[in-house]
A and B are shown apart, each in its own frame.
Chain A
Amino acid sequence: MFGATEYLVLGSILFALGLVGFLTRRNLIVIFLSTEVMFQGVVINAVAFARHHEHLEGQSFALFLLVIAAVEAGLALGMVVMLYRRKGTLDAEAWSLMRG
């Protein structure tokens, strides 16, 4: 039986890889690319649950997830462009003024 467990394991692996990238990388653009990798893991999870429960709720949820991903990419990249124009660098450490 080819069930949903292996897809859930794969989705969790993709999500954790994205999390590690989000925490470690210092380039602002790569940080947001890591969130997109996390989105891929979540999409796999949603569709795997949709197939497990044999209805289409998960697939339509993943479709709305795509909308959120597009919104997030547009706003994040606008913010990155603004931050880059202000400081001339993509380093996230350049904005660590509030770190104690």
Chain B
Amino acid sequence: MTSAAAYMLYLVFALGGVGLYLLLPKAGVRQTFAGAIIGLLAVVGLILVLATQIIGPGSSAGFFYLFAVVAVLAAARVITHPKPVYSAVYFVLVVVAVTALLVLMNAEFLAVALLIIYAGAILVTYLFVIMLAQQSGSPVYDRRSREPFWAVLAGFVLMAAVAGRAGDLPPSVADASESATATAQSDQPGNTSAIGAIIMTKHIVALEVAGVLLLISMIGALAMVRKELPVETLEPPPKPLGQIGREVQPF
């Protein structure tokens, strides 16, 4: 990536940051319309910079643009929508778009796993908790965000630092034999069995550790939620002193 492309990318990020700042829920009048217009301008600018400076003209990358725009817009809606239920539903849209991008990158197994685990399991859990803890109306902590300006600035600095270096990728480090076997594996038996082979041979210890981690987190979540809280303790009324121990059956 040339430095001109990097500066154009920074400009687009700054524009998107201004739009995001206007869109975040704030006290007083929300400039939602202006924020949406500026945000859409930033997305169009991002497409232009990617098309002219990074990908290069003439290459057919229509699906990448489509799903990238869907992912970015849905992610912006996740963090700006004042209602948590809609945030969760927009997050499903992010997951679907990312899944499509993974398919474009020839990661079919990971794409399907992401769709099943995220959209199928994690998001349902989130929706359950949102329904469980829903408060009537729209509470004030959903309508005011905390320090939107400094947060957007921090996000801009992070994004510029990461994306500004994204063009200077080192050449591929795969040595010839390994990449040959990898491509052969991914060509012949398909992506799923190639990943299965590499996980069951090279990363078998990590796989076991991941299983133990899931078990530990399940036990931890159960122990945490089962803990009795002061409001919910239902103690039996204390008995008079003479009756203690009278009801115990001899065994």
Contacts and interface: CB of A to CB of B under 8 A. Distances in A.
Contacts of B147: 23-24
A18 B75 contact: yes
A75 B225 CA distance: 10
B88 interface: yes
A97 interface: no
A55 B179 contact: yes
Given A6-B64, A86-B229, A37 B91 contact: yes
Given A27-B142, A29-B130, A63-B110, A54 B174 contact: yes
Nearest to B127: A29
B172 interface: yes
A20 B155 contact: yes
A21 B217 contact: no
Chain A interface size, as a band, is 35 or more
Interface centre among B54, B71, B150 (most CB of A within 10 A): B71
B79 A81 contact: no
B183 A54 contact: yes
A20 B154 contact: yes
Nearest to A39: B118
B74 to A, nearest CB: 9
Interface string A65-77: 0111111011101
A74 B122 CA distance: 8
A69 B133 CA distance: 22
B9 interface: yes
A84 B146 contact: no
Nearest to B106: A51
Interface string B118-144: 100110011001101101000111101
B194 to A, nearest CB: 6
B173 A53 contact: yes
B158 A19 contact: yes
B130 A12 contact: no
A20 B80 CA distance: 10
Contacts of B122: 36, 69-70, 73
Nearest to B144: A26
A60 to B, nearest CB: 5
A25 B81 CA distance: 10
Contacts of A1: 56, 59
Interface in A68-100: 68-71, 73-75, 77-82, 84-86, 89-93
B156 to A, nearest CB: 7
A4 B221 CA distance: 38
Contacts of A7: 101, 105
A81 B69 CA distance: 34
A66 B178 CA distance: 25
A66 to B, nearest CB: 5
7 contacts: A13-B159, A23-B147, A25-B79, A27-B141, A30-B84, A79-B224, A92-B146
